[in-house]
């Protein structure tokens, strides 16, 4: 297994729309294993392939305390969203150190292939529902800061670019 570099906002590659996966082959299974290792090492609860520069419709997640309940969604399709929404604080491994409020549906129903290529149906609420919506946005090339005001977003962009410059020099 291998740790993969995570793209940092405002990298333009984060705005690429991901393509469906034609077959869950060994190449995809290796990518799943590497993304899970990368997510656990970064102490995240989710990771989209977009964030590691691979533009295919693949998400890994684990919201368990014990970090031993991975969930793999390949070609996820949102079948239902609850009419109720809530504003909650979110973070993103591609925008390190930034947390802000985003309004999301309280509950969602998704269908997707699992890591073995079998169809699964997932009903989620709470943190898992937030995480699924956040990760599905990544697959559409959308980063959570795009829900914030242009003023906040520009401040975040400036802060990220400064941090990236300082890390380089």
Is 92 one of the binding residues for Zn ion (CB under 5 A)? yes
Report the partner that residue 44 touches, choosing among ligand K1U, Zn ion, none (CB closer than 5 to 8 A by kind): ligand K1U
Nearest one of 10, 57, 21 to 165, comparing CA atoms: 10
In the complex, the residues that contact ligand K1U under the rule CB under 6 A are 43-48, 90-94, 130-131, 134-135, 138
Distance of CA 119 to the CA centre of its chain: 20
Q: How far is the CB of 5 from Zn ion (least distance, A)?
A: 15
Is 132 one of the binding residues for Zn ion (CB under 5 A)? no
Contacts of residue 7, Cβ cutoff 8 Å, sequence gap at least 6 = 13, 14, 50, 51, 52, 53, 94
- 135 counts as catalytic: yes
Closest CB to Zn ion: residue number? 92
DSSP-derived pairing of the beta strands 85-90 and 100-105: antiparallel
Q: How far is the CB of 25 from Zn ion (least distance, A)?
A: 26
- Contact at 8 Å (CB) between 110 and 124? yes
Catalytic residue of the set 84, 111, 123, 135: 135
For ligand K1U, give the closer residue by CB, 11 or 23. 11
DSSP tag of 25: -
Report the partner that residue 141 touches, choosing among Zn ion, ligand K1U, none (CB closer than 5 to 8 A by kind): none
Provide the annotated active-site residues. 135
């Amino acid at each position: 297994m291998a740790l993969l570099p995570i793209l940092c906002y405002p990298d333009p590659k984060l705005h690429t729309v991901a393509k469906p996966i034609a077959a869950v082959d060994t190449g995809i299974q290796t990518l799943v294993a590497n993304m899970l290792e990368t997510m656990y090492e970064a102490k995240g609860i989710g990771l989209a392939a977009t964030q590691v520069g691979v533009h295919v419709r693949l998400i890994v997640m684990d919201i368990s305390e014990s970090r031993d309940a991975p969930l793999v969604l390949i070609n996820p399709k949102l079948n239902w969203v609850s009419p109720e929404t809530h504003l909650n604080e979110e973070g993103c491994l591609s925008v390190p150190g930034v947390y802000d409020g985003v309004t999301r549906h309280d509950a969602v129903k998704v269908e997707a292939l699992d890591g073995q290529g079998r169809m699964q149906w997932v009903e989620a609420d709470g943190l898992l529902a937030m995480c699924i919506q956040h990760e599905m946005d990544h697959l559409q090339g959308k980063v959570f800061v795009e829900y914030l005001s242009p003023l906040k977003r520009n401040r975040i962009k400036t802060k990220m670019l400064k941090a990236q410059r300082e890390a380089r020099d």
